[in-house]
Amino acid sequence: MSRDGEDRDLRSCESAVSSLPGDDSPVLIFVLAAFPDWVSPRMTGVVFGISYTTEIAAHGRGPDVVFELQTPDWPSSGAGTALTFTSNDNGDEPVDDRLSSIYWFLAYAYQGSTFEIVEHPNQGGPSFSDDSLPSQLDDVRRDDRGMIGFGVPGYNPCLANVETGACCYETGVCLINAEVACDDEDGVYLGDNEPCAPYACVGACCYEGDCTQELPLECERIGGWFRGIGIPCTSNTVCLNEDVTWGELKKAYRDGF
């Protein structure tokens, strides 16, 4: 998911963001087909439906989609679509990637709203089809369907059995995420089951000899030197060395600066 219109290179299903602040900003939502390491996917088609309480401004298919059959009311909430895929120009090879972007939606992050994958209104599912004859259908269980939450918890099925906690990003945004996903996104993980409290992502900000607790962007705005999320102003040396990187600050937090 992206706030700047850029489809970032997702490193793993676990790294997919499922919760974002409800701040009314435009957000790109990507529907992903994710398969575990122990399977060898040969995806040729998928059917799914969508349910949401936000607003959709635009939508489009993934790069490997060659045909789409939508319900007449697509992409309204409760509608569905069916897609077919190929991984080459001849149209005769299935998609065998374990993580594929199959659809995208431009939505608005209204506070308390959600977007989730549900059954197709006519064909059921959601389900994948492969290139065997006849094609084999694999239904996606309810627990394996994702949901985006804006200002409310979302659900990433790849993290269903993984501990999560508050993850602070360099911008000062706090999201509930798994430690591995937080690290992949260059965030600071505050610990398992830690909530995103109102001031969870503040840290020491050095400005004109003083140290105050600020959000990273606020510290930058006033011309200060941000020492890192979670770094307290209790040390006499916190504002002495300004030659430090974001990575070093993350390490300092983990080591108990």
Same-domain pairing of 27 and 152? yes
Whether 48 is in a domain gets the answer yes
pLDDT mean over 14-25: 85
Select, from the ranges 42-46, 77-81, 149-153, the one with the highest average predicted confidence (pLDDT). 77-81
pTM of the complete model beyond 0.75: no
- Is the predicted pLDDT of residue 10 greater than 80, yes or no? no
Domain of 64? 13-157
* Residue found by looking up tokens 């259908």 in the block: 137
- Of the listed ranges 25-34, 161-170, 181-190, 240-249, the one predicted with least confidence: 240-249
**Residues 131 and 76 occupy one common structural domain:** yes
Q: Pairing between strand 99-108 and 56-61? A: antiparallel
- Contact call for residues 105 and 36 (beta carbons, < 8 A): no
- Do 139 and 69 reside in the same domain of the chain? yes
Q: Report the distance separating Cα 205 and Cα 253, nearest Å.
A: 14
Last-in-domain residue among 98, 128, 157: 157
- Over pLDDT 70: what percentage of the chain? 85
Measure the CA–CA gap between 179 and 220, rounded to whole angstroms. 26
- Confidence bin at 2 (pLDDT 50/70/90): very low
Is residue 96 a part of any domain in this protein?
yes
Number of domains in the chain: 2
